[in-house]
Amino acid sequence: MGKVAVGAAVVCTAAACAAAVLVVRHRMKSSGKWGRVESIVKEFEEQCGTPIVKLRQVADAMDVEMHAGLASEGGSKLKMLITFVDNLPSGDEKGLFYALDLGGTNFRTLRVHLGGQEKGVVKLESEEVSIPPHLMTGSAHELFDFIAEKLAKFVSSEPEEFHPPPGRQRELGFTFSFPVRQTSIASGTLIKWTKGFNIEDVVGEDVVGELTKSFEKIGLDMRVSALINDTVGTVARGRYSNPDVIAGVILGTGTNAAYVERAHAIPKLHGLPPKSGEMVINMEWGNFRSSYLPLTEYDRALDAESLNPGEQIFEKIISGMYLGDIVRRVLLKLAEEADFFGDTVPAKLKIPFILRTPDMSAMHHDTSSDLKVVGNKLRDILEIHNTSLKTRKIVMELCDIVAIRGARLSAAGIFGILKKIGRDTVKAGEKQKSVVALDGGLFEHYTKFRSSLESTLKELLGDEAAEAIAVEHSNDGSGIGAALLAASHSRYLGVEES
């Protein structure tokens, strides 16, 4: 019996030792894996670094590219498009104006009643219409006839007291958010379709001409006074409320900037300078790139796999379309190389753009002690269950790294614009205020992004200059802004209201 007992004890002890060895090995393996997690995150954080010196270099590069783009067509990565908007709203505008906002699978029609300095926007009515998918790839006349019919129906509900007198046309601001080569304030040829549209017989044609033909077919007596994009509309919307607005920036799904330039500083502007001496320039700043931009392997992979490799590099690191996917790419590397979510790589984590920026924002703003929102988002979107607090903290840290880099680079871009027009410093005895109008869901809803952008801009300007610069939210440039530009470019300016 004794021998059996001793043997059993030896076997038990050996088993316990083996188990202990496995536990130790597992811990060593786990700590090794966790070390790898920390190392990947640390390297990513360093590569995304935006020290103030680097931001100044980015702003200087933006300034240089702006000069080059204004000097000649194709002279820069920045298109610096002449918009022919040389008369921004003053706040004095009165009357009823329409807007058409076409930029995706829906379009909006708006009716805006302006009451001058005292009353501002008196009344705003709008309707949203879905575009049937077959019209997005059909013919020009089918699409524009459909839009004209819906607009005519909207016009038919116009209050009788606002019907224009005989011989006077209704006026419309047309926001057309596709690449256009503008030829005047109210004409421009389509360069190419994006966003799922592909109507070949419109490419190279004047989009205002196409829309006007459809108006004439159904007897809609309306004229397009201004053809704009949403960023130019943001400048107009901002200027209407505040005469100190000098630029507009959109930070949403995509990003762009427009600003007011002195006509004599635009070498490629031929012909007589505008009476106002100013011109709004549409920068198309999403296409900015510079060796100073802090790009990582994840950004390069995202760009290589995108529909437009090598283009829109600035947009791909600061705009809402991409921020969530950058976080997903880092999480995927952590899962593949460091078993971040366990022994298997979650299948959903391999799906591009499954992690949207609004979800990233929700995780980034989680204030619960156990980061419950982070845990819920990982479970609901990526089907990753039972994550530890340690894991959730890393996810939140990645959201912070990506958002703060985007916000600080956005601020550097704005600083570059201020530098170009000489508003980055305070001149002795001057008390000139400069306001940048901002719009877009990223700026409006992602609080930590917005706070970082504002504090970084102050840091770049310095205390004294920062006193003279303000950032203001300017909503609905693509709608109200378009109606305001129809008003400021009305052919009836100076004609007494009858």
Of 83, 279, 286, which Cα lies nearest the Cα of 181? 83
pLDDT of residue 29: 54
Two structure tokens written together for 324: 């969530």
CA distances from 244 to 206, 281, 299, 376 (A): 33, 17, 36, 44
Catalytic residue among 119, 123, 195, 427: 195
Q: Is 230 a catalytic residue?
A: yes
Q: Which residues pair with 154 in a beta bridge?
A: none
Q: Rounded CA gap, 455 and 410, in Å?
A: 12
Q: Which segments of 267-319 does DSSP mark as H helices, in order?
A: 297-304, 313-318
Question: Residue 227 belongs to what H/E stretch?
Answer: strand 222-228
Q: Rounded CA gap, 230 and 481, in Å?
A: 8
Which residues of the chain fall short of a pLDDT of 50? Answer: 4, 6, 8-12, 20-28, 496-498
Provide the 8-state DSSP code for 398.
H
Catalytic residue among 63, 101, 145, 230: 230
Two structure tokens written together for 436: 């940048």
pLDDT of residue 6: 47
How many helices (H) and strands (E) are present in the chain, helices listed first? Answer: 16, 13
CA distances from 153 to 84, 140, 148, 329 (A): 30, 20, 9, 47
pLDDT of residue 496: 47
Q: Is 63 a catalytic residue?
A: no
